[in-house]
Every structure is written in structure tokens, then in C-alpha cells.
Amino acid sequence: MKSTATLVITSISAPNQVLQACSKGCSEHGMDFIVIGDVISPPDFHLAGCDFWSIERQRSHHSRLARILPERHYARKNLGYLEAISRGSEIIIETDDDNIPLDGFWLKRTPSRKTASITDSGWVNIYRYFTDQQIWPRGFPLERVQSPVAPLNNYPLVDVRCPIQQGLADDNPDVDAIYRLLLPLPVFFDKTISAAVGQGSWTPFNSQNTTWFKEAFPLLYLPSYCSFRMTDIWRSFVATRMCWANGWGVLFHGPTVRQIRNEHDLMKDFRDEIVGYVNNDKLCEKLAVLDIRPGTEHLADGMLKCYQVFVDHGVVGPEELPLLCAWLDDLGSL
């Protein structure tokens, strides 16, 4: 099956309300739907319109990465990305199995947008543009939470190339364990706002409602040898740095999913996030000063430099680099 767009999810659940809604929506809108399972996924998983990849099927995947990618890990999702790319998809959309798609989720996506362009602003608490509530995205440095937020109308409205686009989630949005332990939920965001974070500005984005256009496909890579709660956050820092080098923005727009969050042990989440609380600011300082060459032909080299920073800082294991090289080799073969 070949489609212009593919929706990719990783899940260990039986077909639930979200997976059923995603399958139905993909069928109605001409999209492929790939679900990547893992060791404890139901052996009899079946959902009409869904291409389910059991762990056994993944082990025989044509990619080099499949032979060395750790099991029982969210980064198995990398194989879903590779499969979508191998089928010729021009757009990859990702979400999780606890995010119900809203009507806006199925609207046409375009890689360029006239929007507020936030540049040279350091850390930007992007959530504060979508609500008056004191809230911050998972991965945002705690020492920056109380920093003032410049009005959005301070930034110019310009045409921005945004090959990575983060949609927010209503109800139970992506926040860290400290927020969940101390502050109120649910939260509902303004659906009319958008902003692009560009050169000289940082804000984390996640893998829960994210659109990737073809030129940014190499940046999809999720690291395995790190904290589970940081894998997509640290990916976002690498992707942001590579966007700077190429004059791209990361677009943030209003919610197009509603999260009915799977059960979590919040204290375990907290422990897994500590490495981010104490390192994210310093990591991005190091990424900012790297010599990254512009051009999509230099994405691989830039990514290797960025992930070497994480390894040298001791927050990602050195075992990560062979995985990243396998990912890049697989992309080259495609």
C-alpha cells in the first residue's frame, strides 16, 4: 500500500478506542496506518485498516536498524518511520494510543505557514501562548518556568518553512511529572493560535501529535539508550538545532487531539525525568555552539555531532551511536 501520508503509532494495547478512531480516520482520508507493537503486545491483534507489526514481524524487517534496535522500548517506533518512508510517504504523522483525534487532526497539512516567528529568544514556554494558565511543556527547564513570556504580537508574521509541526493536546496535555503532581488538570488550549520557533529559540516538542514532512525525515530518529521520558524530548532538541541550520521553524499549533492518558506511575515518571530537569539547559547550550552545515545533505553529519554531545555529557549511552548510524544507513538505502 502506498499513500502520500502515513500515521505511525507504537502500542502494546489491544485495539482500543483511540486505535479504532485512528484506523477509521485513516481509511476515510486515504492515509496508511502503521502500528508498531512490542514483546507484550496482544498476539492476536487485528484491526481493519491497520497494518500491525508484531515483534516477530519487526525482527524480519528489511532494515539494518531492526537487527540491533532494543526491544521493550518506545523507540521501536523508528521501524514504523522507516516502513512509511520505504513506501514513499511524503508526510509522516505520529501520535500515541491514548490521544483521540479531533476533527482538525484530519485537515490538510502544508509545510509552509504564515505565522508568528519566534527567533533569538532563548527558551520559550510555548504553552503560555495557548492558555493563561501557568503551565509548561515536558522537557522545559524548571529554572525557566517563572521567566516572563514576551507577547506573541512582538514577533513578526512571516512565511516560515516548517517541516516539523507540533499540535497540542487538550484535556491531559504533555507536561512533566512535577506539573501533574502539583498543579490542576484538565487544561484546554486556544485552537486559533500558531507560532514557529526558529533560529536562537528553544522549546521542547514531543511525539504525541507531530507532523513531519519529507525533508525532515532523518530527524525522526528516537534514541534508545536514554531515559524513556526523555527520548522524544532530546530528539526535539537535536531536530531544533538542525532546523536552525536550515532556516526552518518548528510550528506549534492548537490542539487536534484530546488525551485520555494511559495509567502512569507519576513518581516513576518523576525519577525518569530528573536527568532532564538537571541537564536540559546545559545540553542545549552545547548544541547551540556546534558547527552545523546547512543543507539536507548534511543532516546526517549534524545529527552525529548532536548525539555525540549527549553521549559525552553522559546522558545517552555510547551504544546509541551504532543505532544512529544504522538508521542513517537505512535512510541512505531508501
The answer to whether residues 227 and 105 belong to one domain is yes
Instruction: Work out the mean pLDDT of the chain and round it to a whole number.
Output: 96
b/e for 47-61, b at 16 or more Cβ within 10 A?
Answer: beebbbbbbeebeeb
Per the structure, the complete domain to which residue 58 belongs is given by: 1-97
Rounded-to-10 torsion of CA 307, 135, 196, 34: 60
The answer to whether residues 190 and 283 belong to one domain is yes
Residues forming beta bridges with residue 36, ordered by sequence position: 10, 53
If we measure between CA atoms, which residue out of 334, 314, 319 comes closest to residue 68?
A: 319
For 209, the 3-state DSSP assignment is strand
pLDDT digits (tens, 9 = 90+) for 45-89: 999 999 999 999 999 999 999 999 999 999 999 999 999 999 999
Listing DSSP states for 280-313 in one string gives: HHHHHHHHHTS----SGGGHHHHHHHHHHHHHHT
Residues forming beta bridges with residue 250, ordered by sequence position: 164, 197
pLDDT digits (tens, 9 = 90+) for 310-320: 999 999 999 99
If we measure between CA atoms, which residue out of 165, 10, 5 comes closest to residue 75?
A: 10
Supply the pLDDT for residue 296: 96
The answer to whether residues 207 and 242 belong to one domain is yes
pLDDT digits (tens, 9 = 90+) for 191-225: 999 999 999 999 999 999 999 999 999 999 999 99
For the chain, state the CA radius of gyration. 19
- Assign 263 a pLDDT band (cuts: 50, 70, 90): confident
Q: Which of 34, 67, 97 is the last residue of a domain?
A: 97
The answer to whether residues 306 and 160 belong to one domain is yes
The answer to whether residues 216 and 86 belong to one domain is no
The answer to whether residues 198 and 74 belong to one domain is no
Listing DSSP states for 149-175 in one string gives: ---GGGS-EEEEE-SEEEEEEEBS-S-
The answer to whether residues 15 and 30 belong to one domain is yes
- Assign 2 a pLDDT band (cuts: 50, 70, 90): low
Q: Quote the number of domains for the chain.
A: 2
If we measure between CA atoms, which residue out of 7, 1, 166 comes closest to residue 96?
A: 7
The percent of residues above 90 in pLDDT, for the chain, comes to 97
- Cα 267 to chain centroid, rounded: 23
The answer to whether residues 76 and 185 belong to one domain is no
For 187, the 3-state DSSP assignment is strand
pLDDT digits (tens, 9 = 90+) for 146-184: 999 999 999 999 999 999 999 999 999 999 999 999 999
The answer to whether residues 281 and 320 belong to one domain is yes
The answer to whether residues 268 and 122 belong to one domain is yes
For residue 68, give the CATH number of its domain.
Answer: 3.40.50
- Residue 1 confidence (pLDDT) above 90: no
Q: Which of 77, 97, 117 is the last residue of a domain?
A: 97
Report residue 193 as a C-alpha cell.
493560535
Q: Which of 54, 82, 97 is the last residue of a domain?
A: 97
The answer to whether residues 105 and 238 belong to one domain is yes
Helix axes 266-288, 299-312, angle to 10 degrees: 120
pLDDT digits (tens, 9 = 90+) for 19-41: 999 999 999 999 999 999 999 99
The answer to whether residues 175 and 214 belong to one domain is yes
Burial of 285 (0-12, 13-18, 19+ CB in 10 A): exposed
